[in-house]
A and B are shown apart, each in its own frame.
Chain A
Amino acid sequence: MNRRVLLIEDEPNIAEAIRFLLSRDGWQVGLHADGTDAIDQIRAERPDLVILDVMLPGRSGMDILRDLRAMEDMQDLPVLMLTARGQLRDRDMAERAGVSRFMTKPFSNAEVLTAVRDLHAQAGRA
């Protein structure tokens, strides 16, 4: 089982924490810190799951998600969105953009792990 996750996050400490959590759970974790070429990175790595920050340098996570969902082969890719901007408006926007799961920072590690596992399991059944 080689589960791969791509983590797009510009805060190095947060990225490090999530990488640590998911590696320990058996995931192969790819890190990317920039919004501009995030989609290229996804295309290149073809991960099983993407964890996406909203406020990224270069390009907003929302825009990336919308573009992603417009691509035929990316419509079923599970995307877990993490953001420090936890307003209802942001959640609505994310859901309209086609997010699989939306979580606000700060999160509990267990929540993140559960969410990642659930998303992967759903994708596997589908």
Chain B
Amino acid sequence: MSLRRLLKSHLAPHRRAIVLVLILQAGQTTTGLLLPGLNATLIDDGVLLGDQSVIWRMGGIMLLVSFIQVVLLTVAVWYGSEVAMAFGRDIRRDVFDRVTRYSTREIGRFGTPSLITRITNDTHQIQTLTALVTIMMITAPLTMIAGTVLAIRTDAGLSVLLLVVVPLEIVVTGAIIAAMTPAFQQMQERIDRINAVLREQITGVRVVRAFTREPTESARFAEANHRLTESSLRAARLMAAVFPAVTLLVNLSSVALLWIGADRIEDGSTQIGSLVAYLTYLLQILLAVTMAAFMVSMIPRAAVAAERIVEILDTESSVTPPTTPIQDFTRPGTVEFQEVGFRYPGAEHPVLEGVSFTAVPGETTAIIGSTGAGKTTLLTLAARLADASSGQVAVGGIDVRRLDPALLWGAIGYVPQRAYLFSGTVASNLRYGRPEATDEELWEALEVAQAAGFVQSMPDGLQNRIAQGGTNVSGGQRQRLSIARALVAQPAVYLFDDSFSALDLATEARLRQALEPRTRDAAVLVVAQRISTIETADQIIVLEGGITVGQGRHDELVDTCPTYAEIVSSQRGGETT
């Protein structure tokens, strides 16, 4: 079970604190349960024999015991809180660490929203349960054990009753829990569903508004909401049944106790004080079971959460750093693909197959092809966001799998298709790849990226705020800032993934012209849709279904490559009319 594994692996560092909590809780419970026994002596030896000194003495002992119990419990609560929260913190850290090591392959497999829920909500669930266990639930079995022992010691004859009532109690609550587990599981699934709907509504808020999809979205939500309410209700009603049922059991067993006790007192085998003490034991043992039942009802939710966390911790990144990383490039600023292939595990068709080319400093290699041709994948392989399934990708003359990742990523300037900006400021985003860059350098990069104008007109300039994802600037601006960010890093290899798509032709032309001097010592790989973007490239690779169907310069390809000629004629036709 995932939950058990997670507890095992992540509670281990806190073993000492846990043992301490256990000891404290055991001590606390036992001292608490001494009170009814002491009270029995007070009644039998003090009250019934009319000895006031016994009453006072027992009272004093009881007082002392009370204080000891409270001190023990306070310390137990302190360490319990610490353990539970440290446990949550450690899990959160490990999950996040693992996710940051993932390649695009694993990110795509889990999906961004799901990963975020796992990092935050799922760990919270488990943390809450751990807190309840260490602070309260742990006392339930301890109370049952200590209570039963003490009860038998007080009067073995009366414990027949315990033998009947305690198992009965366990069966009743057990049955309710058994019914509750699937109900809770279903509820968790439906919570996931409703969260997914809300997530989509928030992330896609512009699309929803633009297409007046609110009624559709609301209907979708209403359905999920109904279904959730239905299963929560089932779970809640089962849970609500526990407490009255247990109370009834406690009360009826008290009645039975008096009935049995009356006989035993009459024949002198039981004392009145013991009878009174027994009533109290009974109450406390059975209350402990109720408490346990209540807490156990939280386990299914935590188990689901644990499963999702363990799934992440069990997934190794498909990109692993080399054991003996190479620290130097032999041919800086080059990118070489040799018979490179990429396929997803279990997928029927490869995404890329047998792609070979060399990009050298100062030259531009353009990649063109229809959607799904494998263009983006090609770039991610060069940046080692994923590893090739076959063949070899080399950057700076060295296989990327053998390069020191810091060296590789320091040499790459990546501009993704979906320009993502981080929450912060324009400057913090631009400095992402090179935190020590000066303001002048930022402005230079902005000039090249044709972004200086709009940054200047922002109220706070470089310090202007950027919302998460860069949603407060337009698509074109985001693209240009993303290009500037890559420029600031001064890489030896530029990877532009359809990065000029949101720019008009004139802006794009200016940008490319300004880019030229900056990329003299760097290889440039450009994925593009527009012929105008790539026709001046030193080398064009035409991809179709993951396979290179043409490779050469514009003039050559127009004549030799039908796919390319088709793209050209469709776009040129569109431009002239």
**A and B: partners?**
no
